[in-house]
């Protein structure tokens, strides 16, 4: 049964907050978590494909071979590729963390923002590369915006369980986590 919160003073039609909608939102969040999780599996240390020109190195190098945004190309060519081991680890840690935090719905809004940042980096690297489907990246942007706008971790996620505890706390960390969730 659908359930809505009705504010009679608002001219806007209220959003559906019923059980089905909340379950669907949890499915979306978990799917996005699995997306990042699965893709942290092929970013292999210690050189992340730099020596063989494969894997993460190859896709990052697309930003130079098939430029999308010249200032970003300059950064990749002069900062990222010469220090690729560091950036490889940063990408692996970020994507593995995105998978973990979004899957369980912990600080979901913060991690969805970081997902947007990483989606931007990926898009600026590979959008013009051959055999890429641009709508993949547009959809990645859209789905992270949905997670932020709906605070999707409050549905079947840790945020939903922990927010009442954070609300009762006086600590700064709790206040930050309330904003991040």
Q: Contacts with other proteins: how many residues (CB under 8 A)?
A: 29
CB of 39 to other proteins, least distance (A): 8
Whole-angstrom distance, CA of residue 51 vs CA of residue 44:
12
Q: Does 33 bind other proteins (CB under 8 A)?
A: yes
Task: Tell which residue, 87, 83, 113, 86, has the closest CA to residue 98.
Answer: 113
Q: How far apart are CB 92 and other proteins at their closest, in Å?
A: 5
Instruction: Candidates 16-24, 37-45, 70-78, 114-122: pick the segment binding other proteins (CB under 8 A).
Output: 37-45
Extract the tokens encoding 134: 């641009």
Q: Which of 37, 140, 152, 180 binds other proteins (CB under 8 A)?
A: 37
Q: Is 122 in the site for other proteins (CB under 8 A)?
A: no
CA distance 92 to 45: 9
Contacts of 61 (CB under 8 A, 6+ apart): 53, 76, 81
The answer to whether 43 and 92 are in contact (CB under 8 A) is: yes
Structure tokens at 54: 């494969």
- Within residues 70-109, the interface with other proteins by CB under 8 A covers 92-93, 95-97, 99-101, 103-104, 106
Binding site for other proteins (CB under 8 A): 33-34, 36-46, 92-93, 95-97, 99-101, 103-104, 106, 158, 160-162, 165
């Amino acid at each position: 049964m659908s359930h809505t919160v009705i504010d009679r003073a608002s001219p806007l039609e209220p959003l559906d907050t019923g059980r089905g909608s909340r379950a669907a939102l949890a499915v979306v969040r978990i799917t996005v978590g699995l997306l990042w999780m699965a893709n942290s599996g092929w970013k292999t240390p210690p050189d992340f494909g730099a020596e063989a020109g494969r894997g993460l190195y190859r896709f990052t190098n697309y930003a130079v071979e098939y430029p999308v945004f010249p200032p970003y190309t300059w950064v990749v060519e002069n900062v990222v590729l010469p220090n690729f081991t560091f950036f490889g680890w940063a990408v692996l840690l970020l994507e593995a963390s995105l998978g973990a935090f979004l899957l369980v719905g912990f600080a979901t809004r913060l991690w969805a923002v970081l997902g947007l940042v990483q989606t931007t980096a990926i898009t600026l690297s590979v959008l013009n590369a051959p055999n890429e489907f641009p709508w993949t990246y547009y959809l990645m942007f859209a789905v992270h915006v949905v997670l932020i706008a709906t605070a999707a971790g409050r549905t079947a996620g840790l945020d939903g369980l922990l927010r009442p505890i954070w609300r009762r706390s006086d600590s700064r960390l709790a206040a930050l986590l309330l904003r991040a969730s």
